[in-house]
Amino acid sequence: MKEIELLKMTPRQSDILARARESGRVDVDDLAALFEVTPQTIRKDINELSERGLLQRVHGGAVYPSNVTNFAYDSRRVLAAEAKTRIGAAAAALIPDNSSIMLNIGTTTEQVAVALRQHRGIMAITNNLNVANILREAPAAEVIIAGGVVRASDGGIVGEATIDLISQFKVDFAVVGASAIDADGTLLDFDYREVRVAQAIIGHARRTILVADHMKFQRSAPVRIGHLSDIDVFVTDRQPPADIVECCATCGVQLRIAPLAAIGVA
């Protein structure tokens, strides 16, 4: 069975995850009554979600993961996958041919890289091995990989050597992601080493594009990347909460909602 098939969630599992995210905890007996299935069926759902890193099992149910730890990489890839594809296409459409670009770690920035394969004359600097692999076979792209420590969990490269290489460039565009966005516009992530690289990328680009799906409005993380005021364009898949919309307007950030038509969905 293919990896993507293993990662697919059933509608019931998606609902369980949404309820856990909203309330922080779900109970087996309550879910069994709600969905009119046996407790054993719910336990199986919870076990599968926990194995993917989406939930943490506890006695009698499961809890939503702590805000101080991130989801496993494979789990992040499948979360909001359709939304990330749309965001990637919409963000890439803002970048003309013959541009220099930096892309940081993240499953959404990887979708931007997928869409950029159709561009010509692209120079891409990245600390993301997955982005490098996506772009290396593009017909007209030059790919530069930052040195440093490679994280086995997701192919991200971090450390002082990474920052040193990034600091040698001044690119046309930075494409960055975030694990969470606070109501006041603060951009957050989980790994302070990754955050330092993201800050360097933002500081060495003429324009910065933030790519983040709607789930980032519902999460929190402990390390501050920066603020929406550091961003030029914010590409997401749904209308953000009113506080975020107001913050974008106040800070002069262009807010772009990725259209369904970006991937041919009616």
Cβ-count burial of 89 within 10 angstroms (0-12 exposed, 13-18 middle, 19+ buried)? buried
Residue 199 CA, chain-centre distance (Å), reads 16
Domain ranges of the chain: 3-65, 75-263
Alpha-carbon dihedral 192, 232, 79, 166, rounded to 10 degrees? -40
Angle, nearest 10°, between helix axes 39-51 and 11-23? 80
| Beta-strand pair 205-211/254-257 | unpaired
Instruction: State the Cα–Cα distance between residues 10 and 147, nearest whole angstrom.
Output: 40
- The per-residue pLDDT for 76 is 56
In this predicted model, what pLDDT tens digit does every residue of 160-188 receive, in sequence order? 999 999 999 999 999 999 999 999 999 99
- The per-residue pLDDT for 174 is 98
> Which residues of the chain are modeled with pLDDT < 50?
1-6, 68, 262-266
Instruction: State the Cα–Cα distance between residues 94 and 96, nearest whole angstrom.
Output: 7
pTM of the model: 0.73
Q: Are 42 and 74 in contact (CB under 8 A)?
A: no
β-sheet bridge partners, residue 142: 123
> Which DSSP symbol is given to 176?
E
- The per-residue pLDDT for 54 is 81
For residue 213, CA distances in Å to 2, 22, 180, 232 come to 25, 17, 10, 17
Same fold across 3-65 and 75-263: no
In this predicted model, what pLDDT tens digit does every residue of 85-120 receive, in sequence order? 999 999 999 999 999 999 999 889 999 999 999 999
- The per-residue pLDDT for 113 is 96
- The per-residue pLDDT for 74 is 55
Instruction: State the Cα–Cα distance between residues 155 and 133, nearest whole angstrom.
Output: 10
Q: Which two tokens stand for residue 103?
A: 């892309």
- The per-residue pLDDT for 262 is 41
Question: In terms of residues, how long is the chain?
Answer: 266
CATH number, span 3-65: 1.10.10.10
- The per-residue pLDDT for 72 is 53
- The per-residue pLDDT for 6 is 41
CATH topology (fold) of 75-263: Rossmann fold (3.40.50)
